[in-house]
């Protein structure tokens, strides 16, 4: 037994004996306790704050007496006077061991602190970003032993932090000399570490000890929208979340129309590349403003996107993705300077990481969903559906994970829908139709009241009722089916067939009138037969993709279903299943994961180990190509019916009853047989 004092750290429980006079930071490092320090123990950064506990600790078998730590020294006192320490806190680099002691490391002093995801799954992210700050003292130049300032900085990082292989680009070198001199040979550097090697790159340098925070962007670059989170790289806090429409929409609404644009217009790919890069630069500036930081504080960006967006972002012509065999120019993850991609709004040396693509139609966004939802760690067989203009579908459990994508088109996002609109104030997002009166009531974004409740009119006075958003149209169609206004084939009945004057003729088909403000100059919001057809195409594609993976896995049921996608978070699971978007399952086994792709991007931004992990996982995923699989077409046709032509949906029918109606009068050319345009979006 050592006669040196015992130091016990909580919450880790790590313990060891250390000679009297050992700084707590030194003890922590020797034991591998996760205690932060940017200044390397110089009493400057205060990141190593700890709380000593006094008294009896039977659990640890130790009694801590007054005087177990050294008295406050001048450095600690100066810090206290200038900035103040919380009651009971000490600086771990200054307080030394004098007797047995129990030391608590508060969460904010842990380097690898855990961040709880604000989503249903409550998954935690351990902070270990690629970019960290280090404070170093650099030797002054010596004429008699001439070396460059960079070489002396490299030597200091090696000696003081054990970091070898540090490089700097010319733009950093250009500011190196004045910064070292301004900081009197002490500087704070932001170092970016490669996740597959031991290289480090200097991203930024500040004179002296800098309190500047560094940030990262996690960007989900979708066909229709670009969504970004601005994250504090120290503690994972999301400082701002922002999004904008993908300006490439003007070149084509879905992926295939953008690939066509590139094929038909020489230089079209470059136009689309410039458009998306400009948008990301705009988004970078606006999200920085929203978060109250300078854009140059953004030192890292992680992208997730589908393969066509991926290629256009990188300046690669996506033409090969438009035709079999759908060859990607590159499938592995990419780490490169943001500047090389024309992203010049953030720090000029910011690094970009792009998750690997899984296949020609299954992109980095699907990889991000896999990183976030971890189907390969699930004991249950889980189906994960990321609903967007293009749906990414994963099916798997601990034994095996399959992935495919399916071209749903933008109907689920309110596009191609007659009264469709983005999810914004004024949009109808929830709908109920009384099965007896066939009268609707609804809720509008911006109010938490139903349209038949008191105060609704006041709530929506400024926005009005402007259209139907993606989740609204799903509920509308499902409610119409449940209310007997729509038959299994997707035909809307006439006023005579349904007994409600809300079913109004429109050419040779009928529409359901949801809301009519035309008397006051407002819109007349209907669900048309064309809307139903668009939704049928979209949901059939989604269902067929899921079934294809189930075939490949050799199952006809899944244990649980996760709806992902920004939009997936707002879908009513019951309505989705009435529609037949997803296979039958107990309703309580259908959950929403929110924007799982965006979460995957945040995880890869926050934890460098997650990058290596998803690269390994992607190599092991079985890729299924829907575009060439004849069974996909069969599944697609069968899925056209609402909810399905042949699949029984026992779980669904245990909770809802769907009226057996048929409005097909034998005539007409729109027989709901589900002839479809092949489309990718």
The residue ranges that bind its own copies (CB under 8 A) are 140-151, 168-171, 173-174, 176-178, 314-317, 319-320, 324-332, 336, 340-341, 357-360, 362, 623, 625, 628
Contact status, residue 341 vs residue 277, Cβ threshold 8 Å: yes
* Structure-block tokens of residue 67: 């005087």
DSSP state of 148: -
**Least distance between its own copies and beta carbon 148 (Å):** 4
Contact status, residue 187 vs residue 136, Cβ threshold 8 Å: yes
Tell me whether residue 412 or residue 632 sits nearer to its own copies (CB atom): 632
Contact status, residue 160 vs residue 188, Cβ threshold 8 Å: no
DSSP code per residue over 443-497: EETT-SSBTTSTTHHHHTTTT---EE-HHHHHHHHHHHHHTTSB-TTSPBPPHHH
Tell me whether residue 127 or residue 313 sits nearer to its own copies (CB atom): 313
**Least distance between its own copies and beta carbon 109 (Å):** 36
**Least distance between its own copies and beta carbon 589 (Å):** 31
The helix (run of H) or strand (run of E) holding residue 186 is strand 186-193
Helix (H, G, I), strand (E, B) or coil at 619: helix
**Least distance between its own copies and beta carbon 326 (Å):** 6
Given the structure tokens 């209907």, which residue do they identify? 526
Tell me the Ramachandran region of residue 260: left when phi exceeds 0, alpha when psi lies from -120 to 50, beta otherwise.
Answer: alpha
Tell me whether residue 151 or residue 556 sits nearer to its own copies (CB atom): 151
Tell me whether residue 316 or residue 527 sits nearer to its own copies (CB atom): 316
Tell me whether residue 137 or residue 587 sits nearer to its own copies (CB atom): 137
Q: Where are the alpha helices (DSSP H) in 130-267?
A: 149-161, 170-182, 255-264
Distance CA 288, CA 276 (A): 18
Tell me whether residue 112 or residue 678 sits nearer to its own copies (CB atom): 678
* Structure-block tokens of residue 46: 């205060």
Tell me whether residue 120 or residue 336 sits nearer to its own copies (CB atom): 336
**Least distance between its own copies and beta carbon 328 (Å):** 4
Q: Count the neighbouring beta carbons within 10 Å of the beta carbon of residue 606.
A: 23
How far apart, in Å, are the Cα atoms of 197 and each of 289, 364, 479?
34, 22, 55
How far apart, in Å, are the Cα atoms of 361 and each of 326, 374, 623?
7, 20, 9
Tell me whether residue 317 or residue 373 sits nearer to its own copies (CB atom): 317
Tell me whether residue 181 or residue 377 sits nearer to its own copies (CB atom): 181
**Least distance between its own copies and beta carbon 180 (Å):** 9
**Least distance between its own copies and beta carbon 301 (Å):** 15
Given the structure tokens 């842990």, which residue do they identify? 110
**Least distance between its own copies and beta carbon 604 (Å):** 19
Helix (H, G, I), strand (E, B) or coil at 340: helix
**Least distance between its own copies and beta carbon 181 (Å):** 8
């Amino acid at each position: 037994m050592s006669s040196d004092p015992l130091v016990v750290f909580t919450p880790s429980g790590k313990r060891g004996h250390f000679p009297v006079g050992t700084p707590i930071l030194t003890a922590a490092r020797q034991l591998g306790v996760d205690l932060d320090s940017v200044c390397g123990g110089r009493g400057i950064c205060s990141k190593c704050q700890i709380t000593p506990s006094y008294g009896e600790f039977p659990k640890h078998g130790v009694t801590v007496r007054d005087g177990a730590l050294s008295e406050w020294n001048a450095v600690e006192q100066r810090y206290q006077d200038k900035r103040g320490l919380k009651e009971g806190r000490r600086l771990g680099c200054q307080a030394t061991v004098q007797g047995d002691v129990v030391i608590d490391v508060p969460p904010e002093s842990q380097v690898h602190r855990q961040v709880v995801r604000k989503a249903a799954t409550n998954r935690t992210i351990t902070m270990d970003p690629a970019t960290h700050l280090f404070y170093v003292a650099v030797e002054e130049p010596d004429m008699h032993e001439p070396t460059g300032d960079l070489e002396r900085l490299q030597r200091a990082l090696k000696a003081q932090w054990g970091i070898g292989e540090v490089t700097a680009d010319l733009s950093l070198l250009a500011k190196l000399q004045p910064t070292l001199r301004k900081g009197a040979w002490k500087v704070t550097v932001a170092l970016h570490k490669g996740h597959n090697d031991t290289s480090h790159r200097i991203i930024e340098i500040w004179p002296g000890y800098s309190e500047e925070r560094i940030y990262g962007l996690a960007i989900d670059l979708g066909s229709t929208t670009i969504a970004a989170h601005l994250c504090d790289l120290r503690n994972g806090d999301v400082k701002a979340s922002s999004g904008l429409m993908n300006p490439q929409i003007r070149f084509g609404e879905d992926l295939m129309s953008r690939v066509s644009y590139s094929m038909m217009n020489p230089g079209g790919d470059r136009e689309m590349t410039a458009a998306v890069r400009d948008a990301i630069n705009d988004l970078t500036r606006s999200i920085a403003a929203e978060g109250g930081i300078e854009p140059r504080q953004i030192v890292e960006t992680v992208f997730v996107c589908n393969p066509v967006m991926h290629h256009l972002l990188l300046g690669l012509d996506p033409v090969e993705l438009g035709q079999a065999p759908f060859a990607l120019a590159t499938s592995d993850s990419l780490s490169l300077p943001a500047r090389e991609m024309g992203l010049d709004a953030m720090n000029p040396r910011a690094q970009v990481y792009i998750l690997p693509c899984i296949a020609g139609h299954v992109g980095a966004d699907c990889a991000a969903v896999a990183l976030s939802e971890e189907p390969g760690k699930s004991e249950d067989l889980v189906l994960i559906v990321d609903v967007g203009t293009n749906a990414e579908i994963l099916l798997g459990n601990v034994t095996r994970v399959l992935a495919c994508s399916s071209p749903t088109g933008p109907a689920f996002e309110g596009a191609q829908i007659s009264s469709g609109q983005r999810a914004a104030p004024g949009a109808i997002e929830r709908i109920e139709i009384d099965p007896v009166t066939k009268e609707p009531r609804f809720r509008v974004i911006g109010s938490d009241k139903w349209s038949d409740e008191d105060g609704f009119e006041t709530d929506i006075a400024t926005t009005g009722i402007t259209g139907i958003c993606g989740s609204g149209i799903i509920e509308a169609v499902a409610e119409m089916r449940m209310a007997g206004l729509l038959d299994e084939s997707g035909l809307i009945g006439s006023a005579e067939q349904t007994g409600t004057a809300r079913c109004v003729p429109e050419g040779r088909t009928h529409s359901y009138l949801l809301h009519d403000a035309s008397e006051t100059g407002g819109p007349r919001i209907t669900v048309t037969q064309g809307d139903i057809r668009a939704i049928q195409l979209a949901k059939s594609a989604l269902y067929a993709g899921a079934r294809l993976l189930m075939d490949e896995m050799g199952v006809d049921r899944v244990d649980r279903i996760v709806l992902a996608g920004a939009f997936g978070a707002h879908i009513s699971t019951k309505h989705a299943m009435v529609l037949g978007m997803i296979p039958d399952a107990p309703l309580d086994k259908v959950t929403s994961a929110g924007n799982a792709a965006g979460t995957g991007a945040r995880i890869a931004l926050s934890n460098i180990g997650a990058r290596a992990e998803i690269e390994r996982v992607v190599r092991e995923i079985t890729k299924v190509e829907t575009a060439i699989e004849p069974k996909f077409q069969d599944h697609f046709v069968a899925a056209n019916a609402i909810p399905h032509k042949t699949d029984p949906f026992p779980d669904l029918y245990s909770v809802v009853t769907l009226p057996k109606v048929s409005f097909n009068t034998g005539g007409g050319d729109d027989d709901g047989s589900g002839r479809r345009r092949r489309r990718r979006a």
